[in-house]
Every structure is written in C-alpha cells, then in structure tokens.
Homo-oligomer: A and B are copies of this chain.
Amino acid sequence: MPTGPSALPSIASLPARVGETVTLEGWLYNKRDSGKIRFLVFRDGSGYVQGVVVKKEVPEEVWAASGAVTQESTVRVTGVVRSDPRQPGVVELGVTDLSVLSLCHDWPITPKEHGVDFLMSQRHLWLRSARQVAVLKVRSEVESAIHDFYYSRGYTRVDSPILTPAACEGTSNLFETQYTEDEKAYLSQSGQLYLEPAAAALGKVYCFGPTFRAEKSKTRRHLREFWMVEPEVAFLEIDGLMDLAEEFVKELTGRILDRRREELKRLERDPAVLEATCAKPFPRIDYRDAIEILKGKGFPVSFGDDLGGDEETALTEGFDTPVMVTRYPISIKAFYMQPDPKDPEVVLGLDMLAPEGYGEIIGGSQRIHDHDLLLSRIEQHQLPLEAFQWYLDVRKYGTFPHSGFGMGLERFTAWMCGVPHLRECIPYPRMLYRIYP
C-alpha cells in the first residue's frame, strides 16, 4: 500500500479553497452511480465532501477506480473544489484523479437494521458512522466548553485520584483492586472529597475525569465508567452555587448551538429546547413545593421520598429549560451536605433536571464547614472516622463555607444530542456484560 504525505488539506478546509485543485486522503463513505457520472462521498474525520467523477472527463483508470472503490476503502483523491450550485456554502470536488489505497471488503455495518448487541460488539467500526461521529464531536465540544468555562474564570484544574483507600460508604457499588499485598484500593466515584482541601489551597478548583460505579443495573441511564466534571469553590454558598450551575449549563449549551449546528442537524435534534435553555432563567423549585406539584399530578409521594425518573420527568413537564430542585430532606442526601440553618430537616443541596425526560444532569450542595457538625454527621451515618480524619482536617484548620457540584458528561451529551441511550455518548461504553472492545 502506498503511503501519502502527512500535511494534505482537510475536507473541512475546502469551502475556503474554491477554485483550487487539491489532493485529499480519506475513506469512501457513500457512492451513487448514474451510468456516466459517479457521485462519491468522501470523509476524512473533519467532514464530508461529494466528489463527482464524469466518465468522459477522466482517464480510464480513474473511471475504473471510481467503479471498483467500496465503502470504507481508503483513497487518495485529487480534484477541483467548486461551489455546489444547489446548496449555498457547500462545496463539491470535480474529481480528476483517484487511487484506492486499500480496498475494503465485506464492511460489516450495512444499511440494514442491526441489533444493538451486534453494533456494540462492532463499536470500533460503528464509530465511523455519521451518527456516531456527530455524537462524539458534540461530546468533544462539550469537553472543550467545560475547559474554557473554568479556565476563563480562574479555576485551577486539580485531578482527583482514581485509586482511593478504604471504602467509605459500603463496597457494593465499588470496583476493588489489590493495591499492595496488604492493602485494597477502590475506584473513585467522585473527586469531591479531594477537591475540598484543594479549594483551601487554590480557591476555585475543578476536576474532570472518569468515575466508576459497579452497578448491577442495566438501564439506558447507567454506565459503569463515565466522565464527570466537578467544580468546588471556597466561600461560595448555595445561592451562588445555583447561579454557577445555571451559568455553566447555559454556556455549554450555547457553545454547542454555536459550533455544532451541523452535527445537531445530522442527529435530527430540534434545537428549540437548547435555545430556550440559553435564553431563559431556570425554574428553581423547593423540594417541599415539588412534592406538592407531584401530588397534584397524582404521584403518591410525601416529604422524605427520593424522586425517581418518572417524578423527575413530571417535574420538568411544561418547561423547556432545565429545572433546579433544592432543599432536599436531610435523610435522603449525603452526610456532608450543609443543613439549612432556617429549616434543619433539609439540606442546601440542588439537583438540576434536564427537560424532555433526560433526568438529573447535575447534583451538588453547600458542604458542612463546621467541624463538630460534620463529625456528628459522620457518626450518625456510622462511617469509619479514621478514613475521614483528613477530610475533617479541612474544617480544623481555617474552615470556610464552600460548595460544589458534579455533572455527568454522558448525560449532558445525551441531552444535547437528543440521544436516549448513554451508550452512544462515550467512545467505548462499559456496561454490565459489556467490556469489549
């Protein structure tokens, strides 16, 4: 197989090259044949371009190559970039030369319907489909927007460890590994505890990395390995945290609308809800009010109940933006959440629910900053005090109010894309009974 130069123009750069003769390398994505003209769609990862091969205008071997080339074959193609008269802003390639670098036989992902199990076992190839490419580009753009959001606001990125000691809250949902002969370690479910001491050093921090849940559940909303972004801010309290979460989601959504319109179109994603999310304030609903709303809709719920998927969907009905639910009962939330001084039965926490049934995308809270209160909460939850000594230290030496939240990247991406299942929102999903490829 001949190999080509490394610095050829990308397909994405062609609209700026109208009139030029260019050589590209990439894959054949699609082909139509009308006897004396062939329409070949090429892709190179940066985009797609239609090449037009006219029999009477190209040498015989080029015409033959355009007939022989199959989907997913690698090609080197030369042609003249020209505007597509029917689609403003779109260019096509008047092909003058074409060589097949590697002919693809028996490409397994055909236009017929495949079962999910088949596609998942071919994930390394399925990635090449236009839909998967679009989802992965949206995901990557979200990651980029996350980075830019925190960088531009002076946050320091602090990578939390994955390998953590002593299982703090039971080991049933944790992946365990032998760290040394004598010691076990567990894969982290959140970086929060490690961010709090870092907030005392750096003020505004965030982590962004993989987290792990060895869940036995097999639903469209669960992955065993997923990415989470978690900011933690010194001297920030619950109201400021809600503002931060809303500003964050608005900025990420605006970025996708700005820079990934083409991918949303390919995914047939109606952008109306995303546009509303950028434009309107998010409703903030007190948990006590949420219970009343749900009762009114016929749910048999009362104070102290956790909200499930159906309740979450019901609460967001009628809204075209995310909804924030705050001040959950202390009994159903984590030990470190700050009780509301005015209403000690509830904590200063927030869940942000995406509209359209996408469920919780953000969970967060103000943290307890009083040493003795935190200590008593650790004892009430019967957690091993020794494992939390370092965490208590944050309250021992110059304590400070602080708050943070976590947002799951795949859930957010699923909502942006309008894709119902998380398994398409991560390059190589890890689910129950699915770890290959």
Q: Which residues of A contact B (CB under 8 A)?
A: 1, 3-4, 6-8, 10, 12, 25-28, 44-46, 72-74, 101-102, 104-105, 107, 124-125, 127-128, 132-133, 136-137, 139-140, 143-144, 147, 151, 154, 156-165, 175-180, 183, 185, 187, 194, 197-205, 209-210, 212, 224-225, 227, 233-237, 239-240, 369-370, 390-391, 393-394, 397-401, 426-428, 430, 432-433, 435-437
Instruction: Flag if B163 contacts A175 (CB, 8 Å).
Output: yes
Cβ B164 vs Cβ A1 within 8 A: no
Select which of B8, B73, B370 is within 8 A of A235 by beta carbon: B8
Contacts of A200 in B (CB 8 A): 27, 127-128
Contact, CB under 8 Å: B125 / A240: no
Q: How far is the CA of A28 from the CA of B144 in the complex (A)?
A: 35
Q: Which residues of B contact A436 (CB under 8 A)?
A: 165, 390
Known: A162-B162, A163-B224, A390-B437. 8 other contacts (CB 8 A): A1-B370, A45-B201, A102-B398, A136-B198, A144-B147, A176-B177, A177-B187, A198-B427
Say yes or no: A236-B156 contact (C-beta < 8 A), given A144-B147, A161-B430, A198-B127: no
Closest to A103 in B: B398
Contact sample, A vs B, 15 pairs, CB 8 Å cutoff: A8-B235, A10-B154, A12-B154, A45-B156, A45-B201, A45-B234, A127-B202, A133-B202, A140-B158, A147-B147, A160-B427, A160-B428, A161-B430, A162-B212, A163-B224
- Note all chain B residues with C-beta closer than 8 A to A28: 398
Please report the C-alpha to C-alpha distance between residue A45 and residue B74 in the assembled complex, in whole angstroms: 51
> Once the chains are docked, how many angstroms separate the CA of A256 from the CA of B198?
21
Partner among B143, B237, B400 whose Cβ is within 8 Å of the Cβ of A157: B143
Set of chain B residues within 8 Å of A194, measured between Cβ atoms: 124, 427-428, 437
A426 near B159 with CB under 8 A, answer yes
Complex CA gap A73/B397 in Å reads 7
Residues of B within 8 A of A183 (CB): 435
Chain B contacts for A370, CB-based, 8 A: 1
A411 to chain B, nearest CB (A): 15
Interchain CA distance A398-B124 in the complex, whole Å = 13
Select one of B140, B157, B236, B435 contacting A164, CB under 8 A: B435
A32 to B239, CA, bound (A): 37
Q: Are B369 and A6 in contact (CB under 8 A)?
A: no
In chain B, what residue has the closest Cβ to A174? B177
- Min Cβ gap A242→B in Å is 11
| Pairwise interchain contact B180-A4, C-beta atoms closer than 8 A | no
How far is the CB of A430 from the nearest CB of chain B, in Å?
Answer: 5
- Judging by beta carbons under 8 Å apart, are A227 and B159 in contact? yes
- Nearest CB of B to A1, in Å: 7
A46's partner among B26, B133, B154, B433 (CB-CB below 8 A) is B154
Bound form: Cα–Cα A128–B394 in Å:
11
Residues of B within 8 A of A73 (CB): 398
Please name all residues of chain B whose beta carbon is closer than 8 Å to the beta carbon of A400 when the two chains form the complex.
25, 74, 101-102
B204 near A45 with CB under 8 A, answer: yes
Q: How far is the CB of A279 from chain B (nearest CB, A)?
A: 23
Task: For the complex, give the distance between the alpha carbons of A390 and B140 in Å.
Answer: 24
The winner among A25, A128, A236, A428 for most chain B CB atoms within 10 A is A428
- A104 near B398 with CB under 8 A, answer yes
Find out whether the CB atom of A398 lies under 8 angstroms from the CB atom of B72.
Answer: yes
A399 touches B74 (CB 8 A): yes
Choose one: B1, B101, B107, B158; the contact of A397 (CB below 8 Å): B107
A233's closest neighbor in chain B, by CB? B6
By a CB distance below 8 angstroms, the chain B residues around A140 are 156-158
CA of A325 to CA of B76 in the docked complex: distance in angstroms?
A: 31
Among A127, A144, A160, chain B packs the most CB atoms within 10 A around the CB of A127
Do B210 and A132 touch across chains, with their CB atoms under 8 A apart?
no
Compute how far the CA of A143 lies from the CA of B155 in the bound complex, rounded to whole angstroms. Answer: 12
CA A402 – CA B242 in complex, angstroms?
Answer: 45
CB of A396 to closest CB in B, whole Å: 8
A198 CA to B28 CA, complexed, in Å: 16
**Measured between alpha carbons, how far is A210 from B403 in the docked complex, in Å?**
25
Task: Please pick, from B45, B102, B143, B234, the residue contacting A202 in the complex, using a CB distance under 8 A.
Answer: B45
